[in-house]
Structure 1
Amino acid sequence: MEGGSLHILMLPWFAFGHLLPFLELAKSLAGKGHRISFLSTPRNVARLPAIPPPLAPFINFIEIPLPQIEHLPENAEATVDLPSADLRPYLSKAFDTLEETLSDLIQNKQIASLDCIIFDYAAHWVPNIAVKFGVPCAFFSIFNASFFSFLGPPSALMGGAGARKKAEELTQLPPWIPFPSTIVFRSFDAPQMFNASVPDASGVSEMYRAGKSIQGCQIVLIRSCKELEPEWLQLLGHLSEKPIVPVGLLPPSIEQGQHAALEWLDKQGRGSTVYVAFGSEVKLSAAQVKEIAVGLELSGLHFVWALRAGSVPAGLVESIKEHGRGLLCMDWVPQIRILAHPSIGGFLTHAGWSSVVEGLAFGLAMVLLPMIIDQGLIARKMVEKGFGVEVPRKEDGSFTGDEIAQSLRFAMVEDEGKVLRTKAKECRNLFGDEELHDSYVSESIQHLKRLVEARLSV
């Protein structure tokens, strides 16, 4: 630690839903004069947004090629590159080879004068490396406190005391939550979450990785704030028996540049348009795409829909052009610029935490259609707080175009949705408060410095 400045190694899991929040935190730390070594693969680094020039001297990307792993497609370096979620364990297996690589980099002084490591849940082996080299480590959860509190103590995540024995248990409030809450999984999203507790081809389960990471770190950094979920942050500290340090919500900064979608939005009325996007991890089925398309048409609203080219069914492009109220974007879109545009009034989203933070930072009415992992709990949390509406689903998770249309109209135009729209607009004061969230980053730095000083004093 030179002159109060830290050298921090950051290691996110190879999914853009993790890489991007880690990068946002890296930029916030770099903006306060701390040096960041950001470790990922060449292809992942190449796909990250450019670092603002004033911060570039403080952020060094360490690019580590992945070894060829059986069953892992060539050039697959992130979950978005996998044609099927069934291949995820093989990416985890490749990711785990970084344990030896990272140890060698530190041992050989290729990463020198390291003060601490901030790591993701998948890198459950980082605490062992940290102990070996006498470096403190912090687990950074891109998930919010209610999600991890619902999952339980590390023992429950690792298959010990408190572990669920069947998926149905995830649809009930666990005994360690001492206050009323509607934040539970439903019958259609519980099985996938339960499967995350089963060891996979990488040798351990996803849940085990998270539990081991919490168990082995010195502190838990978390993308949250006391103003949003004070009771959950307190509960998580009790369950994990670790200091829980919010880094704030890391609100988005607006990108520069022009795009056809922005030009199209310039011609629409204020608050008249819904933005539709489901993130980089969700792979919609043809049936789901069809029902969403039907719902958008039935809603009568203007829309901008970001949809991967490979997910576009035959006839969809022509249909959207025919009714003339929508714009389909099949390549990269400047999501933050779109959400910030005055023509956007609502956001139909998968309820990924980053997307929810981004939408509410601009006061948008949220229409929530959760698909995987923590998204169901986030959707229920937002509904419980009155910030959004969740699209109704059948027991098997299916939904209809009518249900999409009704949810959109409720959130954006009908009188019954006025309270929701008012609350969403008020959210700008919390989710978009850059000064507040910057103060959380400053506070987290003080926690990291205390860890480093404690190590140096031994």
Structure 2
Amino acid sequence: MATPATTMSNLFERFRRFRPPTFAGTYRPEEAEYWLNRVTKLLQPLHCSKAESVEFLSYLFKKEADLWWEATVIAFFGPIKDGLRKMWPSPESLASPPEWFELDSSVAVPSHETAGFYRGIFSPDASGFSILDRLVLALQRCSAMAIRSCNEFQVESLGLLKKLHKRPVIPIGLLPPTPLEKRETTDPKWYSHMGNQRHRYPSAGIREPDWQSWVVYMGWAPQLEILAHPSIGGSLFHSGWASTIETIHYGHALIILPLANVHSLDAKMLVDKGLAIKVEINEDGSFHRDAVVRSLRRATVKEDGERFRLKSIETKAIFSDQTLHQNYMNEFINFLKSSN
């Protein structure tokens, strides 16, 4: 039975007051176990369900631990039976959708990123393994794949994954943000700047901008609280999957500027689905501030950007459906129980 949203909100607020430690990933199993033991003890007084515990802990992931690969990206890398180096013999091979990619999608790595992308996924890091080495080992040894997604948004990609890897593919839902009853920011300075009015964005042609209304914030910003604020109408971000979920959850326009990791693949997926406007990037990977301004204008005020705004609001009905995603999590927990 799904927990009422108000109850979950209260539990989540109580959990946050404990100031639980975040987790940025580690190559040492004992460090991961130590972190898990610490946060598990913090959850005990709250008497959370297993589904609630999983959802709350997902918000503690940072950096590498928070690099969620969505279904389309995993399908892009294909089956593992022949070895990924044979399927991807050169950086140039990443620049077009592979033959097994049976989706109506243009997902591929931009030509200016292929060399760096290829090094990034095939070069060993401090652990002695590359990103794709770990992916291959995980896929070889797992009996099922749990994906942060849902059939309502990515049924074709999930079906392709099942076909490619010949094992159960279980969507666990999108793990949407838990509704906050009190829209309090973790840093109250934000509200003093944001107020209750919708802000204009910086653009060419403003002779005397009101710089007092702008905020330049160095470091981590309270993203969820900002997205929930009524002054926000759009979000310019790197197109990462976790931030995509949070932005659509609030029905904002998506302006994307992929910069690293698999963000360029996520960006292609969002553009293909008519959800996002991508900032124009030159062939050498550079971009101009005017391109950013044009994308912001189009996404938030221009008439030809209306379809993107409407698409995000339409998709919000899926992304913000707490009951839907709780049911996915419950099904995943039942699968784990039945597998023991």
Q: Which range moved further: 401-410 or 370-379?
A: 370-379
- CA contact 1:141–1:223 (8 Å) conserved in 2: no
Partner of 1:238: 163
Alignment match of 2:79 (pick from 153, 162, 171): 153
Partner of 1:402: 290
Structure possessing the higher radius of gyration over alpha carbons: 1
3-state secondary structure, aligned to 2:109: coil
Partner of 1:427: 315
Aligned residues: 300
Q: After superposition, what is the alpha-carbon deviation per residue over 1:71-122, rounded to whole angstroms, capped at 9, x for unaligned? A: xxxxxx848xxxxxxxxxxxxxxx33427996xx9xxxxxxxxxxxx9x9xx
1: CA distance, partners of 2:160 / 2:153: 14
Sort the Cα spacing of 1:299 and 1:252 in 2 relative to 1 into closer, same or farther, 3 A. farther
Measure how far apart 1:201 and its partner are.
4.4
2: CA distance, partners of 1:243 / 1:264: 48
Partner of 2:112: 188
- CA contact 1:153–1:211 (8 Å) conserved in 2: no
Measure how far apart 1:217 and its partner are.
1.2
TM (norm. structure 2) is 0.78
Corresponding position: 1:260 with 2:189: yes
The 5 A counterparts of 1:284-363 are 296-298=202-204, 323-363=211-251
TM (norm. structure 1) is 0.59
Corresponding position: 1:225 with 2:113: no
1: CA distance, partners of 2:108 / 2:85: 21
Unmatched segments (≥5 aa) in structure 1: 1-27, 32-49, 64-76, 80-94, 106-117, 121-139, 275-295, 301-319, 453-458
Measure how far apart 1:190 and its partner are.
2.4
Structure 2 residue identity aligned to 1:206: I
Sort the Cα spacing of 1:414 and 1:239 in 2 relative to 1 into closer, same or farther, 3 A. same
The 5 A counterparts of 1:36-435 are 52-53=13-14, 78=24, 95-98=26-29, 142-155=68-81, 158-159=83-84, 161-162=86-87, 164-195=88-119, 196-254=121-179, 256=182, 257-258=184-185, 259-269=188-198, 272=199, 296-298=202-204, 323-435=211-323
Sort the Cα spacing of 1:299 and 1:332 in 2 relative to 1 into closer, same or farther, 3 A. farther
- CA contact 2:194–2:213 (8 Å) conserved in 1: no
Higher relative contact order (CA 8 A, sep 6+): 2
- CA contact 1:237–1:243 (8 Å) conserved in 2: yes
Measure how far apart 1:264 and its partner are.
2.3
Larger strand percent: 1
Larger helix percent: 2
Measure how far apart 1:355 and its partner are.
0.6
Q: Percent identity?
A: 32
1: CA distance, partners of 2:319 / 2:179: 14
- Structure 1 segments, 4+ long, off by >4 Å, are 54-57, 99-102
Q: After superposition, what is the alpha-carbon deviation per residue over 1:130-189, rounded to whole angstroms, capped at 9, x for unaligned? A: xxxxxxxxxx98211100000112346x54552x11111111110111233111110123
2: CA distance, partners of 1:361 / 1:433: 9
Sort the Cα spacing of 1:218 and 1:331 in 2 relative to 1 into closer, same or farther, 3 A. same
2: CA distance, partners of 1:447 / 1:361: 27
Structure 2 residue identity aligned to 1:422: L
3-state secondary structure, aligned to 1:154: coil
